[in-house]
Structure 1
Amino acid sequence: MGYDMHITRKPQWFDDDGPEISLDEWKAYLFGESQFASDGSAEVRSLSGAVLRLESEGLAAWCGYSAHEPGGNMAWFLYTKGNLVVKNPDEETRRKMYQVAVALGARVQGDEGEFYGADGEQLNDAPPAASSTATRPWWRFWS
């Protein structure tokens, strides 16, 4: 488990419809960005010594991450369903996510719908999903 953050063009990252980042756009970004390594796979060693491997086209490691250690701590960007996803990003990674989002004409959004800015911090604006329901009386919530 963990907290995912998303680079998305959709109004909400979980929307089925809406503008998507194409895999080709992501690959083109990676081609022009020397701080990413993309071979479509990730490996980690568990505490028991077992190797866990994930293979996914569009999976990339941000090698410019200050805590980057091959075979250890890495910031992985996973392409899925027209979005990019990073698990448990710290502030430094959220700042990089914002830079990637701007380059792709997208935004950085957390699992709960909140958005993040250039400094890696949550923006003060309420998420659109929360603000639209907060103004309705409780008896009209389902209508």
Structure 2
Amino acid sequence: MGYELHISRAAEYYDSDRHPIALDEWLAYAESRPTLNVGGWLGWDEDRQPIYEQTCTDGSVVSLTWFEGAIEIKGHFDGDAYHEFGSIAEDLQANLQGDHGERYTASGVLPPTR
């Protein structure tokens, strides 16, 4: 399904600027992962940053970009989000959260907190 996910250190992804993943930390991490490849660029000249792509286990390709302290994951995939991206969140000591507030770990979906 097409859906947006967020990797953030904040309790709610929309507060990522308060508990950010630093851009240089994200770039170093992304460059170290063989599953992430640069698929394009955002911005111009010295302000540009890479858009990383990952091919999911179902064959779909999603993009991962840094934005205001969080990693935004966009694309269409049919697999389980936690299988694909839970380990990235854990590696960054962050949370994996969907647009509707659902939370994931590398092991599965967490129960709602509200």
Which TM class, normalised by the smaller chain length?
Answer: 0.7 to 0.9
The alignment yields a C-alpha RMSD, in angstroms, of 2.1
Larger Rg: 1
Aligned length: 106
Q: Which has the higher strand share?
A: 2
Q: Of 68, 79, 82, which residue of structure 2 is paired with 1:91?
A: 79
Greater RCO, 1 or 2 (C-alpha within 8 Å, sep 6+): 2
CA distance in 2: counterparts of 1:82 and 1:10, whole angstroms: 9
Deviations 1:99-120 (A, max 9, x none): 111111101011122211213x
Q: Of 57, 62, 77, which residue of structure 2 is paired with 1:66?
A: 57
Structure 1 unaligned segments of length 5 or more: list them: 42-54, 132-143
Q: How does 1:14-93 map to 2 (within 5 A)?
A: 14-15=14-15, 17-39=17-39, 41=40, 55-56=41-42, 57-63=49-55, 65-68=56-59, 73-87=60-74, 88-93=76-81
**2:10 and 2:20 in contact (8 A); partners too:** yes
Counterpart residue identity of residue 86, structure 2 = Y
Q: Which runs of 4+ in 1 moved over 6 A?
A: none
Structure 2 unaligned segments of length 5 or more: list them: 43-48
Scaled by the length of structure 1, what TM-score is found? 0.63
Scaled by the length of structure 2, what TM-score is found? 0.77
